[in-house]
Structure 1
């Protein structure tokens, strides 16, 4: 069975990138219930959007996790690790409620044929859409044995791949971190909250 190209229904929505939704829901909830690996910092009270016309990465893994906030609440996430990634036409947006109303922050980078890049990228996400190609993917591997530096808990469900390419990426996340993140042509702007990445 080949898993090289995965384009699902509902505009290419992929949850855990490859596995059927019913199975993913079961394994994710089981992983969280068993105390799955947490994101390494306390997150804010707002999720944010990330989009890119294309992501090209090497050294990919994904498994269940939690993103704790400062109030002590754990948010269920799928943790995705990419050892090295290039992101074309990168966008990140978040909207916050303030005493003056909604305020948005919009960051763009990686345009004009000069992609943004990240090393040791880790994302704690709740939703992902796109058209994906994986090289040498393994689905159902033990999370403690994935082929990336960051690993999940022993006995937890995971998947990994040597390479990953996602076109028209749209992602909702609680957290993003990287050892190095290079934003070529970065533009940061405040908005009225009506404009997001998608």
Structure 2
């Protein structure tokens, strides 16, 4: 791929990343609440990192799936993911970062960093939350957990609407009434929520690589 084409592609990806995610999430949340659209989309060719002090979620489910989209070179890409779903969740001191490398005009790499829920009394709040996870490190505590459940028999919130074709309904899954994760470090390909309330939202661009962890 020539340098001109590569540079143009990166500018397009950079522009898409710059759109504040809270606006997009709010629009999706309205559609989901009204039953107007399924929570299915083509993932970008960039994963992102999330760090949080604490996540407390109810009706936890986890199962294997495939996130499909385009890789950084514009080719079809597919990523095996562990999907974690919650009917509702609160997240304390959340940081999300994504790096766009090798921008033209001498800009080099640029990091978008988003922080929210920094006040323990006002955490991030989400409903119908689904995380397409590639890597996760945390201290975990589960209440009333069932391991080895068939994915199609997990109960609420169940398999994410619109992604059923990517999931084996007889495949391995687990569920719990409550999941508490602390010292969370996560790499993910996508996050979807019916509603996503970001208190004390701060969005900044940083020159170079400045990820959340």
Q: TM-score range by the shorter chain?
A: 0.7 to 0.9
Q: TM-score, normalised by structure 1?
A: 0.78
* 1:155 to partner: Cα distance: 1.1
What pairs with 1:1-198 in structure 2 (closer than 5 Å)?
Answer: 40-70=40-70, 71-97=75-101, 98-99=103-104, 100-113=107-120, 114-151=122-159, 152-198=167-213
Deviations 1:22-75 (A, max 9, x none): xxxxxxxxxxxxxxxxx8211111110011100011011011111111343211
Structure 1 runs not aligned, ≥5 long: 1-38
Q: Is the 8 A contact 1:55 1:167 kept in 2?
A: yes
Alpha-carbon shift at residue 140 of structure 1 (Å): 0.4
Deviation of residue 160 (structure 1)? 0.5
2:86–2:157 Cα contact (<8 Å) kept: no
The structure that has the greater radius of gyration is 2
For normalisation by structure 2, the TM-score amounts to 0.72
Q: Using the TM superposition, give the Cα deviation of residue 148 of structure 1 relative to its aligned residue in structure 2, in angstroms.
A: 2.2
How far has the Cα of 1:149 moved from its partner? Answer: 2.5
Cα deviation for residue 184 of structure 1 reads: 0.1
**CA distance in structure 1 between the aligned counterparts of 2:66 and 2:208, rounded to whole angstroms:** 27
Q: Is the 8 A contact 2:94 2:117 kept in 1?
A: yes
Q: Is 2:55–2:182's contact at 8 Å kept on the other side of the alignment? A: yes
In the alignment, the residues of structure 2 paired with residue 75 and residue 194 of structure 1 have an alpha-carbon distance, to the nearest angstrom, of 24
Q: How many residues align?
A: 160
CA contact (8 A) 1:81 1:148 kept: no
The answer to whether the 8 A contact 2:54-2:180 is kept is: yes
Q: Give the superposition deviation at 1:195.
A: 1.4
Q: Distance in 2 between matches of 1:125 and 1:193?
A: 25
Aligned equivalents of 1:193, 1:149: Cα separation in 2: 39
Q: Which runs of 5+ in 2 are unaligned?
A: 1-38, 160-166
Contact 1:48 1:172 in 2 (8 A): yes
Higher normalized helix content (fraction of residues): 2
